Structure 1
């Protein structure tokens, strides 16, 4: 019995329990709803919760624990010669056993009996059924695969039985507890409060998990490389060492990457913020409803374009265009048609990233500006102010906290961008102030360090986690500073 069918069974039991609980509450009241503490619907909901929630918890725990138990059982049943070769060989053999187990389900009884008697042609038999097998396979794997299938099938049936029994037991106990003074509404609201608290804590728990996973690997990195060298180094040259080696040769200076990240983000913001903010002011204060309904969706289309498409646009169109324009200008001034703007440069990446960020600024700022009470505009206009003066002195100050939040979101998006920078700014890690030359960012180097079949046992790969935690704290500082600005300039309007 698969998991979907078990879930459907639990939901059916829950629905039936709801109807039965509601009917029992009506019967208990003898037609006088005022005699009940809670409405019949609350009694039914409480009964359904008792029938479904414990059963779903049992299902979730079983789905987590059963595969671990089965894997450990199959792993311990492997031959001693395989276990003696190490963990990597054992895991490879376990993976092959699972692949064979999936293929055995496709064989009939005669084919299975033949394969058990002569496992030499195991790979050919499974290949005929469309199940590829890495390696030739061993004779013991057929028996282990059969045991795996047996344990998996038994686990499925036991899981279905356990979930069914828990659901029925919860339904029976809940139905027996339905009486006139029973406070079903309080119980239901308590469960809903717990669900809301769980939902609100998911973001916090996710953040803690992300930080914890990165921090543990970052500590391993700093055991090999000095934090002073990492945070204050001016040269980025991590030379990959051999697998399993702890060689720390190379230089892991963060400053070139940090400079490129902030520089490209700054250029993008300088391009996106004025255009996006002016577009938001026009749509919120000047555009007719028909124009606004057409222009705003067109602007928001930019946010739905994949960043790799923006990267191609920068590589094929914007970069060559800036290079050719600079060559023409240089030729007119000096007579030497040599481009001083490289096709891959900070300017190219900043412009294209700015185009991508325009809808973030315009859409969010537009929503914030339109939420400013109309009474403020009417009062300003009634005192003789022009529309532009009203926008500058009344609307924008009122919307300033929200606009700061929108700009913060835009800056975080710019700092974390990868694909545009890879194609438009290159991968050269260096410190310079010329926006016409190539630079790179932290996110690009994270991708570079984690590209390929690597193991996290050398500084050359663990440095990606140090870069990630650094980027996390940069965005955290941006959030804290923006919160300070919002609280400082917040104005209350009634």
Structure 2
């Protein structure tokens, strides 16, 4: 029997436990619910949670360590889980009495569920990092770490004699991200200032959702836009006539489109931060004779600057991890060049390419993807830590 069927049965059993728990609590005091320690609903929830949690734990353990892992669960495990849930329901029903602290019991169970959910996120991150570290260590046991971190040539060959220097990939990543931030930060910040300080409520109600629509567009669509529209325009009307590039795939193409993608990210965060500046600061500035533009430049932006810097660094982390726009807009050439109209590539693109197709996971040409991944993880982690540090250290506290 499929796992989902047993989960449905557990939910039905828990719902029945909820109804029985309420009825028994009311019957225990002869209908005088004011004599109960907790609300009637807490007695029902205590029984329902006791049954469901007992059953779901058995199902999870059986799925991890028992049989039936190929899309279905062994019926033995399901029967054991249902039996455990029924036993828990019976025990919970037997504990119902006027003095029973059902609310405390329910809150303890809910607190345990919340702790478990929080732990899942932490343990998942830890598992990802450890898995990448193990494979990275395997890679460095086969390939020199000095050649990887300081090499300037990227030519993987599964036949041997590969050059796996990451500097061309790191340069392409930082170059594309820099151009993207040069586009997104000014436009996003000015849009946030307009929406928070100049726009009427009606205009803000239209403009803000319109800008945030950009955040919902899939990155593959941005990549197609870069490949079909932006790249040819730059090649035919700028790079080609000036003789500085003849390809529609370039760093500038990917950077411009990625910058457009990041505009709502910067705009929304900056808008929230600017709106958090107290109105009393604005009124005080106006009271001293300052104009609106002077108030924005000398009062509002300085007060919101730590949060704005944090938003920019978070946008940089988003840009560094982007893949599809770079694949379609910047190409796959690993090279060190200052010309933004030449094709280059990034770390994320090469991670995908090294793990795509029929590859040997014991070869350094494949394992290098994990070394690139851990490098990218450390880079984005440092940016996020820096953003949090700036926000917390320089954040203004207002009453």
Flag whether TM exceeds 0.5 (same fold).
yes
Distance, in Å, in 2 between the alignment partners of 1:431 and 1:274 is: 27
Distance, in Å, in 1 between the alignment partners of 2:131 and 2:60 is: 24
For residue 415 of structure 1, report the CA deviation from its aligned partner: 0.4
Matches within 5 A, 1:138-217: 155-156=74-75, 158-217=76-135
For residue 306 of structure 1, report the CA deviation from its aligned partner: 2.0
**Aligned equivalent of 2:150:** 232
**Aligned equivalent of 2:23:** 23
Q: For the structure 1 residues 329 and 491, does the alpha-carbon distance in structure 2 shift closer, same or farther, using more than 3 Å as the test?
A: same
The answer to whether 1:314 aligns with 2:219 is no
Q: For the structure 1 residues 370 and 54, does the alpha-carbon distance in structure 2 shift closer, same or farther, using more than 3 Å as the test?
A: same
Contact 1:283 1:292 (8 Å CA) reproduced: yes
Residue-pair matches, total: 399
The answer to whether 1:374 aligns with 2:279 is yes
Contact 2:46 2:92 (8 Å CA) reproduced: yes
- SS of aligned partner of 2:340: coil
For residue 442 of structure 1, report the CA deviation from its aligned partner: 0.6
Gaps (5+ residues) in structure 2? none
- SS of aligned partner of 1:67: coil
**Aligned equivalent of 1:445:** 350
Distance, in Å, in 2 between the alignment partners of 1:8 and 1:339 is: 64
Distance, in Å, in 2 between the alignment partners of 1:308 and 1:43 is: 51
Superposition TM-score, scaled by structure 2 size = 0.94
The answer to whether 1:43 aligns with 2:15 is no
Distance, in Å, in 1 between the alignment partners of 2:238 and 2:4 is: 62
Distance, in Å, in 2 between the alignment partners of 1:57 and 1:213 is: 26
| Structure 2 counterpart of 1:419, from 324, 342, 345 | 324
Between 1:293-302 and 1:339-348, the stretch displaced more is: 339-348
For residue 212 of structure 1, report the CA deviation from its aligned partner: 0.8
**Aligned equivalent of 2:383:** 478
**Aligned equivalent of 2:236:** 324
**Aligned equivalent of 2:299:** 394
Give the number of the structure whose alpha-carbon radius of gyration is greater: 1
Superposition TM-score, scaled by structure 1 size = 0.76
Contact 1:346 1:435 (8 Å CA) reproduced: yes
For residue 443 of structure 1, report the CA deviation from its aligned partner: 0.7
| Structure 2 counterpart of 1:383, from 254, 274, 288 | 288
Q: For the structure 1 residues 440 and 465, does the alpha-carbon distance in structure 2 shift closer, same or farther, using more than 3 Å as the test?
A: same
Contact 2:54 2:88 (8 Å CA) reproduced: yes
What is the CA RMSD across the aligned residues, in angstroms?
A: 2.1
Distance, in Å, in 1 between the alignment partners of 2:169 and 2:78 is: 54
Contact 2:314 2:387 (8 Å CA) reproduced: no
- SS of aligned partner of 1:434: coil
After superposition, the C-alpha distances for 1:61-80 in whole angstroms (9 at most, x for unaligned) are 23334436x88xxxxxxxxx
For residue 367 of structure 1, report the CA deviation from its aligned partner: 2.3
**Aligned equivalent of 2:214:** 302
Distance, in Å, in 1 between the alignment partners of 2:372 and 2:78 is: 46
**Aligned equivalent of 1:459:** 364
**Aligned equivalent of 1:489:** 394
**Aligned equivalent of 1:429:** 334
| Structure 1 counterpart of 2:141, from 216, 220, 223 | 223
Distance, in Å, in 2 between the alignment partners of 1:308 and 1:51 is: 45
Contact 1:324 1:339 (8 Å CA) reproduced: no
The answer to whether 1:358 aligns with 2:263 is yes
**Aligned equivalent of 2:313:** 408
Distance, in Å, in 1 between the alignment partners of 2:263 and 2:175 is: 18
Distance, in Å, in 1 between the alignment partners of 2:11 and 2:54 is: 12
Q: For the structure 1 residues 327 and 353, does the alpha-carbon distance in structure 2 shift closer, same or farther, using more than 3 Å as the test?
A: closer
Contact 1:326 1:341 (8 Å CA) reproduced: no
Distance, in Å, in 1 between the alignment partners of 2:136 and 2:40 is: 56
Between 1:31-40 and 1:349-358, the stretch displaced more is: 31-40
For residue 404 of structure 1, report the CA deviation from its aligned partner: 2.3
After superposition, the C-alpha distances for 1:159-212 in whole angstroms (9 at most, x for unaligned) are 443233222211111111111222221111111111111122222111101101
For residue 459 of structure 1, report the CA deviation from its aligned partner: 0.2
Contact 1:322 1:341 (8 Å CA) reproduced: no
Contact 2:270 2:307 (8 Å CA) reproduced: yes
After superposition, the C-alpha distances for 1:289-316 in whole angstroms (9 at most, x for unaligned) are 2211111222122222222222222222
Contact 1:323 1:339 (8 Å CA) reproduced: no
Distance, in Å, in 2 between the alignment partners of 1:487 and 1:4 is: 45
Distance, in Å, in 2 between the alignment partners of 1:175 and 1:262 is: 62
- SS of aligned partner of 2:338: coil
The answer to whether 1:284 aligns with 2:196 is yes
